[in-house]
DNA sequence: GTGAAAGCGCTAACAC
DNA sequence: GTGTTAGCGCTTTCAC
């Protein structure tokens, strides 16, 4: 069964394609009788306006490009669920790609999607991008008129909207909270001490200790870096 | 900076758009000199053929619709990574939607993407779909000429390609393996005893016990259903 | 070697 | 109330 087009419907009723188009869009120009029969026929035969034709015409794809550093991580999986859900509710689709923490892959993804596939990006930087401090691809994208919204692992120097957590005060408040509960030996364990968000948390942790008058003890700080836990991951 | 089109390039060099198109596609009809200057200009100005125009013309979008029951689950997150990776390597994009185990949402997603947005589906059934045994939306999609590939939670009655694990023998072999290691009390814990894959594993488990001559003990079977662990999940 | 024109499916301005 | 036409960006057949 071939996909139905406006043209097919026009032929069916011996009217012009513009009549069909208007009827389907419930235009006031078209008589109720015509609209009724055309809409009925369209529904019965499962007509759906072609996505690419609409996107081409409207210069808008109603789809968002999402770039995730990884999905094998409960935080990012949750964020993805949230994005997908909100997008759908607002009539948007989501094209998702995984940078796998690689700067190169990230740039490639942006390149691949910068051809009218999407209306804009939502992304969290690859680790490598942050370490390299190389944001050229982001800047070019924005200059080319494709909006970017960054979350979690963001580059503050980029001029775009960002959604972040208050990592510094989060850690600080946690220390104060634990201290209030009577705890004296508060450890800091991080898997991302090399990233900005990790550093902020560490600074908040130290400041928290200072605030409550606890000594900072290097032995209570554990940094698990990727190279260490990577070996446990199947490739 | 507006996005460059073939038309812009044509104007730049005072040639026709078809010349530009051919030059960019390295056609033998065009002189090397013309090709060189046009290709150079295109590259320098970051020309990219418009995705929607190509899809419209070619009737192929080079994108796959992926429907996941959930992403908050290491198995599905891994599968997603695999799909995304393989797709990208083959020049495909991936539009991913989460059914959240809902039959309705699953049908809506299929409906939403069945307008020429994608060339085909890769999906794992929502739990509700399996329990309801209602596969109308799948059959209609296939009849309409959109291919479906199912994985993991599949409906065997649907005529399409499927990628599955051998749940029955997997469980059976595991029991035999453990028995060979000297274990006598082998428990069965499942979070999906209501799904086909869960039932297969359970049958394999029982058969395994039988094969090695161990008694089946109901107390060693634990079924954790969604309603039980759901309360631990943030909504 | 280059260009004109039709067509992919759709919308919208403008006839009639 | 309905139809014609141009155009979105691109490819491709057919002229020249």
The structure tokens 């939403």 sit at B112
Strand C contact nucleotides, protein CB < 7 Å: 1-5, 7-14
Number of A/B CB contacts below 8 angstroms equals 112
In the structure, what pLDDT confidence band is assigned to residue B231 with cuts at 50, 70 and 90? low
Residues of A in contact with B112 (CB under 8 A): 88, 93
CA distance B195 to chain A (A): 23
The structure tokens 């609409």 sit at A54
Q: Does B184 touch chain A (CB under 8 A)?
A: no
pLDDT in tens, B10-60: 999 999 999 999 999 999 999 999 999 999 999 999 999 999 999 999 999
Q: Does A141 touch chain B (CB under 8 A)?
A: no
The region of weakest confidence among A8-22, B33-47, B220-234 is B220-234
The structure tokens 């957590």 sit at A165
Residues 33-52 of chain A with CB under 8 A from chain B are 46, 48-52
Cβ-proximal residues to B112 (8 Å cutoff; 6+ apart), any chain:
A88, A93, B97
Centre a 10 Å sphere on the Cβ of residue A107 and count the other Cβ atoms it contains: 19
pLDDT at A70: 96
In the structure, what pLDDT confidence band is assigned to residue A228 with cuts at 50, 70 and 90? low
pTM listed for this prediction: 0.91
Q: Domain A167-233 falls in which CATH fold? A: Rossmann fold (3.40.50)
Distances (CA, A) of B169 to B185, B204, B222: 19, 6, 20
pLDDT at A31: 92
CA angle A127, B88, B115 (to 5 degrees): 120
Q: Is the pLDDT of residue B229 over 70?
A: no
**Burial letters B114-123, b for 16+ CB under 10 A, else e:** bbbbbbbbbb
Q: Inter-chain contact B95–A94, Cβ cutoff 8 Å? A: yes
pLDDT at B30: 94
pLDDT at B2: 72
One DSSP character per residue, B213-232 reads TPPP-GGGEEE--HHHHGGG
Q: Where in chain A is the domain with CATH 3.40.50.2300?
A: 60-163, 167-233
pLDDT in tens, A29-56: 999 999 999 999 999 999 999 999 999 9
The top-level CATH class assigned to B60-163 is: alpha beta
For residues A209 and A216, is the Cβ–Cβ distance under 8 A? yes
Average pLDDT over residues A195-221: 96
- Nearest protein residue to C2's C1' (by CA)? B19
Rg (CA), chain A: 26
Centre a 10 Å sphere on the Cβ of residue B200 and count the other Cβ atoms it contains: 19
Chain centre distance of CA B214: 40
Beta bridge partners of A64: A94, A120
Cβ-proximal residues to B224 (8 Å cutoff; 6+ apart), any chain:
B189, B190, B191
Strand locations in B29-119 (E): 63-68, 93-98
Distance CA B21, CA B49 (A): 10
Q: Is the pLDDT of residue A235 over 50?
A: no
Tokens of B92: 């495909």
Percent of chain B surpassing pLDDT 70: 95
The structure tokens 């700080």 sit at A221
List the A225 CA – D5 C1' distance (angstroms): 64
List the A142 CA – D7 C1' distance (angstroms): 27
Residues of B in contact with A55 (CB under 8 A): 52
Give the closest of B61, B71, B72 to A52, CB-based.
B61
Considering chain A, what is the average pLDDT of its residues? Answer: 94
pLDDT at B234: 43
pLDDT at B190: 95
Average pLDDT over residues A2-23: 93
Pairing assessment for the beta strands B63-68 and B93-98 based on DSSP bridges: parallel
pLDDT in tens, B166-207: 999 999 999 999 999 999 999 999 999 999 999 999 999 999
Q: What is the DSSP-derived secondary structure letter of residue B128?
A: H
Distance CA A203, CA A218 (A): 13
In the structure, what pLDDT confidence band is assigned to residue A225 with cuts at 50, 70 and 90? confident
Nearest CA in chain A to B109: A88
Q: Is the pLDDT of residue B232 over 50?
A: no
Residues of B in contact with A85 (CB under 8 A): 98
Q: Is the pLDDT of residue B147 over 70?
A: yes
Strand D contact nucleotides, protein CB < 7 Å: 1-5, 7-14
Nearest of A141, A28, A83 to residue B97 by alpha carbon: A83
- Return the SS3 of A161: strand
Chain centre distance of CA A169: 25
Distance CA B77, CA B60 (A): 27
Cβ-proximal residues to A36 (8 Å cutoff; 6+ apart), any chain:
none
């Amino acid at each position: 069964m071939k996909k139905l087009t406006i043209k097919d419907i026009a032929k069916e009723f011996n009217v012009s394609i513009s009549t069909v188009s208007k009827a389907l869009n419930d235009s006031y120009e078209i008589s109720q009788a015509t609209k009724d029969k055309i809409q009925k026929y369209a529904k019965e035969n499962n007509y759906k306006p072609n996505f690419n034709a609409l996107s081409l015409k409207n210069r808008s794809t109603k789809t968002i490009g999402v770039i995730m550093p990884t999905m094998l991580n409960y935080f990012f999986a949750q964020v993805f669920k949230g994005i997908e859900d909100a997008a759908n509710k607002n009539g948007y689709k989501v094209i998702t790609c995984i940078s796998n923490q690689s700067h190169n892959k990230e740039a490639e993804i942006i390149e691949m999607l910068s051809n009218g596939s999407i209306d804009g990006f939502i992304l969290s930087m690859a680790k490598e991008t942050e370490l390299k401090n190389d944001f050229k691809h982001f800047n070019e994208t924005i200059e080319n008129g494709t909006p970017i919204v960054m979350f979690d692992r963001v580059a503050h120097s980029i001029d775009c909207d960002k959604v972040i957590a208050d990592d510094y005060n989060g850690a600080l408040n946690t220390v104060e909270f634990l201290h209030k509960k009577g705890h004296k030996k508060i450890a800091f364990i991080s898997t991302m001490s090399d990233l900005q968000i990790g550093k902020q948390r560490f600074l908040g942790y130290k400041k928290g200790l200072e605030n409550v008058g606890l000594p900072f003890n290097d032995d209570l700080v554990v940094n698990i870096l990727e190279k260490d836990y990577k070996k446990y991951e199947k490739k």
